[in-house]
Amino acid sequence: MAWSPGSFVADSVERRGASMKTNRLTEGLRIVSAFALKDIRDAIQNRNVLAIGVGTLMLLLSTMALPLLMGLRTTMEVHVYDPGRSNLIRGLAIDKSLNVRRVKSEPDLREAIGGSFGELTGLIIEPALMEAHQSADPITIQGFYPHWMALEAVEDARQILETKLSQAAGFPVRVDLTRGALYPSFYALGQATMLSSGLVIVILSIGGMLTPHLMIEEKEKGTWAALMVTPASQGQIVTGKALAGIFYGLIASAVALVLFQRWILHWDLAILAVFLGSLFIVAVGLLLGVITENPSRLGMWMGVVVMVLMLPVFMNFFPTRTEPSWWQTILSWVPSVGFSDLIRASFVDMYPSSVLLRGIASMLGSAAILLSLVSWRVGKSEI
């Protein structure tokens, strides 16, 4: 291609334009980070980070009570599905060192084991297996255990069960646990539901209570007028505040995830969920912060907002048979429900593919709308 003065000038203008865009982007990121770091630094200096950690532990106390109590048990719990009502289990049930519980069906056994907070095992006694046994040859019974149970504990449980079952039967009994790891069901009201509801309450409460103060402080200090004459746009100011609020949420999330780590199966989903959930409640908190005229009532209003957000979550957990399908569809698109479903999916082996789409779309979409409203309100300088 031949060189010409026109092409040289056009190329120079294009490079200059690209350079200016890069400079503007760099400057914008610098301004946003400055606002965020200032609020984060204040939170660390004011010991708000410590308060968030302690507050998270207090909020999760009720959720963690059941696992802690189950860990204090001195007897070994065994769930048994025994449709033939065999003498083997009758002999096992009289052993004082075991807590034997019969279940009505194999699905009930799988749900109880997979969704358990505590260490326990399950057995399926096939009637045909017991009827066909006519010799002193050992028989093998299929056993189950929660997926998070330590391998050492699983092996100890196997040895104890084999000893007890052999004594009760009068001949050798083997327990096969090689393929016995069970996982909670997405729709079951068990471990996954309790853990996800606890985590949602923590993030909505911590993020919702602290984030509005990022705006309230600017009001009380009278610094909004000064901010409006700086090079920062209202979008950059709001983005910086949002990042600081997300920091609050992620601190609470980190504490909760450390406590729940043994039950988490999909860490990518868990991290995505807590980030999007923090972003959503931060957007709610910032909007409440800019529209609240009386800071003394802020806590009351945020408490009401958190309760309103949690109501559809519990309605989604406990659906009734009379609810129409369209109502469940509407509930599934509520941001707080999408948040809880994403968290719940991180605790189960298999989950509906639609959960991922609805959760991401509902939280990102609502956060974008709310942050746009906050930016518009800040731009009008009516706060």
Cα 18 to Cα 11, 13, 25, 28, distances in angstroms: 11, 9, 11, 15
The more confidently predicted of residues 190 and 219 is: 190
Lowest mean pLDDT among 51-65, 155-169, 299-313, 359-373: 51-65
Q: What is the pLDDT of residue 13?
A: 42
Q: What average pLDDT does range 292-313 have in this prediction?
A: 84
Q: What average pLDDT does range 258-274 have in this prediction?
A: 93
Dihedral (CA of 83, 87, 88, 92) sign: positive
Lowest mean pLDDT among 157-166, 266-275, 296-305, 308-317: 296-305
Are 291 and 364 in contact by the 8 Å Cβ rule? The answer is no
Parse the chain into domains and list their residue ranges: 33-63+187-379, 73-182
Q: Please give the structure tokens belonging to residue 321.
A: 């048979």
Q: What is the pLDDT of residue 6?
A: 47
Cα 31 to Cα 36, 45, 88, distances in angstroms: 9, 21, 73
Lowest mean pLDDT among 14-18, 112-116, 199-203: 14-18
Dihedral of CA atoms 359, 362, 367, 372 in degrees, nearest 10, equals: 160
Is the pTM higher than 0.95? The answer reads no
SS3 state at 101: strand
Provide the CA 33 distance to its chain's centre, in angstroms: 27
Q: What is the pLDDT of residue 143?
A: 93
Banded model confidence at residue 22, pLDDT cuts 50, 70, 90? low
| Tens-place pLDDT, residues 173-212 | 899 998 899 999 888 878 888 889 889 999 998 888 888 8
- Which residues neighbour 88 within 8 Å (Cβ) at sequence distance 6 or greater? 82, 125, 130, 165, 168, 169, 173
| Tens-place pLDDT, residues 303-315 | 888 899 999 988 8
Dihedral (CA of 233, 236, 242, 244) sign: negative
- Which residues neighbour 122 within 8 Å (Cβ) at sequence distance 6 or greater? 78, 79, 80, 81, 103, 109, 110, 112, 113, 143, 144, 145, 180, 182
The more confidently predicted of residues 296 and 236 is: 236
Q: What is the pLDDT of residue 339?
A: 95
Query: Residues of the chain with pLDDT > 70: what percent?
Result: 84
